[in-house]
Structure 1
């Protein structure tokens, strides 16, 4: 068994490719929640690939910025949609050069938070093994949305991981900055915090972002790497080790999705008001 397989069961793996659709960012998080709820009941497992154009995904703590509205208006003036997610963490950028992956697993009570993160770390290492074996997991100080499981090469962060648990299901989510300019993404989030804080004291400690701590994989690996290249590699890795089942929502999952979608709409209306 390969290292990345240790939490997967010896059963079919539902595979959702949501990289080319018109789903709104808030719907993406609602879908993950719907699948977690279903997986907790059915004991199935799934993996989902997803992406969104020109979107800033905020954490709950970001909404507590003293000048939050001003900061959000700046993001929107730069052509970005803004959504507040329902999982932990802080602001990250999603655009056509960023690929996100969700691992969706049952048995949350038997899986530690550490194991959930480690599962994603090992999967990413397996995906990029043809190009590098230098991926490390530790907090990259100066990056946006910093955490113990930042993924980097030579100290430059290209990915961040978060985790969401609903009932007895888990979603471990990662964003992968595939194509440049990742430092431009970091500069945008730096501006967001500068405007949102504007010299005022805050109860929460927001990151002091240094854009040169972050870089896209194509730059780090010095290759012409695209999201399609990475998706092909992911599909090949999973096909070699699992029986993949195309992901289609069941009737129950559609019901869960409709409920979770409304929760995300309500959350974002409350946080963003007319800016949603």
Structure 2
């Protein structure tokens, strides 16, 4: 990791903060994807400062496009509904993840500078930020694939080989959004069990041309479980803002503004239509 280059992304002159962590169950995951696309477009066009966004979704499984190729998809989706979860398909790569009121999601949205932000640099910046947020616990946070977790990837964040977070990235119109989900409290293994059941029902032992993870629930945990301290989303939100301020010295709160409202309506319509099409 080139720490200096990653730190440079965190050291913006000013951060704009869009906090949507307490909007409640009516705030849906498709709205989140439209938000990040809007911010990417505005920031890529130089109409907004780099932005840090936080959000929480209740009882939602976010699927990747690949998950829709499961041979027994409709049965697997029915299983999610019976377990009390809604589901959507995201417009970027990756596989199924669980979001609920104990999971805090963060996005860092930067302009893709003329040289281009190398993909790993964005991931490294988020990793460094998360390390900084929890540095007082003195536990090593590693970024490496935890292959038996859900949505495994090379930037899974783990402590003692138990994953509590996954980082993804989306690029659109000269903007880059680096996103992380942090399992703050609750049971990491219970969330993993839900997705394990989803794949078992969706595959029924069939071999497919796509590879789906063979999930071992014990490899996943929440930060509360790992640190042995009951953390709330609000606690972690405060740590997030303190870390951000430590890197930049200045941030301000803001909702969407000006032309962003129109952009948001367009992107929201687009993600809704794409989602309906994929799930037909």
Give the structure-2-normalised TM-score: 0.93
CA-to-partner distance for each residue in 1:113-141, whole Å, 9 max, x for gaps? 11111111001000111123410010012
How many Å apart are 1:147 and its aligned residue? Answer: 0.3
Q: Please tell me whether residue 35 in structure 1 is matched to residue 42 in structure 2.
A: no
The answer (yes or no) to whether the contact 2:10–2:244 under 8 Å persists in 1 is no
Q: Secondary structure at the match of 2:136?
A: coil
Task: Give the structure 2 partner of residue 99 of structure 1.
Answer: 104
Which deviations, in whole Å up to 9, do the C-alpha atoms of 1:13-35 show, x marking residues without a partner? 10011011132111111110110
Residues 4 and 180 of structure 1: CA distance in aligned 2, closer, same or farther (over 3 Å): farther
User: Does the alignment pair 1:228 with 2:234?
Assistant: yes
Secondary structure at the aligned position of 2:167 is classed as strand
Of 48, 62, 82, the residue aligned with 2:53 is 48
Q: How does 1:34-113 map to 2 (within 5 A)?
A: 34-42=38-46, 44-107=49-112, 110-113=116-119
Residue 247 of structure 1: aligned partner: 254
Q: Distance in 2 between matches of 1:124 and 1:6?
A: 15
Q: Is the 8 A contact 1:100 1:175 kept in 2?
A: yes
- The residue number in structure 2 matching 1:151 is 157
- Unmatched 5+ stretches in structure 2: none
Q: 1:188 & 1:133 partners in 2: Cα distance?
A: 28
User: Paired residue for 1:25?
Assistant: 29
Shift of 1:272: 2.4
Alignment check: 8 A CA contact 1:58 1:90 kept: yes
Kept in 2: contact 1:3–1:122 (CA 8 A): no
Q: Distance in 2 between matches of 1:140 and 1:272?
A: 28
CA RMSD of aligned residues (A): 1.6
Equivalent residue, structure 2, for 1:141: 147
Out of 4, 13, 35, the position equivalent to 1:11 is 13
In structure 1, distance between residues paired with 2:204 and 2:111 = 43
Report the Cα offset of residue 9 of structure 1.
5.2
**Offset at residue 247 of structure 1 (A):** 2.0
For 1:225 and 1:3, the matched residues in 2 are separated by: 31
Q: 139-148 or 35-44, which moves further after superposition?
A: 35-44
Contact 2:64–2:94 (CA under 8 A) maintained in structure 1: yes
Helix, strand or coil at the partner of 1:130? helix
The answer as to 2:117 corresponding to 1:117 is no
Q: CA–CA distance in 2 between the matches of 1:10 and 1:27?
A: 26
Secondary structure of the residue aligned to 2:259 is helix
Corresponding residue for residue 277 of structure 2: 270
Q: Which moved more, 1:38-47 or 1:234-243?
A: 234-243
Could you tell me how far 1:253 is from its partner in structure 2? 1.0
Q: How many residues align?
A: 273
User: Which deviates the most, 129-138 or 93-102?
Assistant: 129-138
Give CA deviations for 1:7-55 in whole Å, capped at 9, x if unaligned.
Answer: 1454211001101113211111111011001110016200001111100
Gaps of at least 5 residues in structure 1 are none
Are the counterparts in 1 of residues 169 and 178 from structure 2 also a CA contact under 8 Å?
yes
How much does 1:200 deviate? 1.7
Does 2:209 match 1:209?
no
* Partner Cα distance (1:197, 1:25) in 2: 25
TM-score in terms of structure 1 length: 0.95
Is the alpha carbon distance of 1:16 and 1:51 closer, same or farther for their aligned partners in structure 2, counting shifts above 3 Å? same
